[in-house]
A and B are shown apart, each in its own frame.
Chain A
Amino acid sequence: QKEVEQNSGPLSVPEGAIASLNCTYSDRGSQSFFWYRQYSGKSPELIMFIYSNGDKEDGRFTAQLNKASQYVSLLIRDSQPSDSATYLCAVFYSSASKIIFGSGTRLSIRP
């Protein structure tokens, strides 16, 4: 099992709809979880972090964490074409003292 696993996509969502991005991880001891957005030709940018079970909302973005299921998700409401990017799920592995990144899900918002 990969340490951080994501569907590579592409995920195509119509403008205005909800985009749902999912991620699973293997380390039960992980406590810190992140979502990065990477536009084509740019570097990754941290957009959300979550430490506790449940939901965390920031504007149109909601991060969801379920530690029992080792599952993290990112919901983007009212999707806009500017949301088209690759989204990287990342988990801090205390055993390795570093963040492990998933390979990313490519999201495309169609007008």
Chain B
Amino acid sequence: GAGVSQSPSNKVTEKGKDVELRCDPISGHTALYWYRQSLGQGLEFLIYFQGNSAPDKSGLPSDRFSAERTGGSVSTLTIQRTQQEDSAVYLCASSLAQGDYGYTFGSGTRLTVV
């Protein structure tokens, strides 16, 4: 696609429910990244996929968070048993190769846990 596409744009869920967030990267981009941004805060790295290599999961805050990338393209970030502190904007980005030419971000998914 022309840009990084994320869905849904907004998600309100009840505490304790599971949620899935989707990211469709730019066609041809081999690397895909997930970030989280709480209100007024900086970007918090979550996870990074590069081609067929094992993902870098070093930023996942707890084992309630997981992500997969199928067929080297679309990625899904899953949050199990959501908590109120999970409320944030979840941003996906993609890049050519390792990203030394920069990342392109999607418009994000605003998650609100009530």
State the A residues within 8 Å of B (CB).
31-32, 34, 42-46, 49, 88, 90, 92, 94, 97-99, 101-104
Contact = CB atoms under 8 A, between A and B. Distances in A.
Given A34-B102, A97-B48, A104-B42, 15 more contacts: A31-B100, A32-B101, A32-B102, A43-B107, A45-B105, A49-B102, A92-B98, A94-B100, A97-B99, A98-B99, A99-B99, A99-B103, A101-B43, A102-B42, A103-B42
Interface residues of B, number: 20
B91 A99 contact: no
Interface centre among B50, B98, B102, B108 (most CB of A within 10 A): B102
A49 B98 contact: no
A44 B45 contact: no
Q: Is the interface of B mostly helix, strand, loop or mixed?
A: loop
Complex A-B, nearest 6 residue pairs according to Cβ-Cβ distance, in ascending order: A103-B42, A43-B105, A32-B100, A92-B100, A101-B43, A46-B102
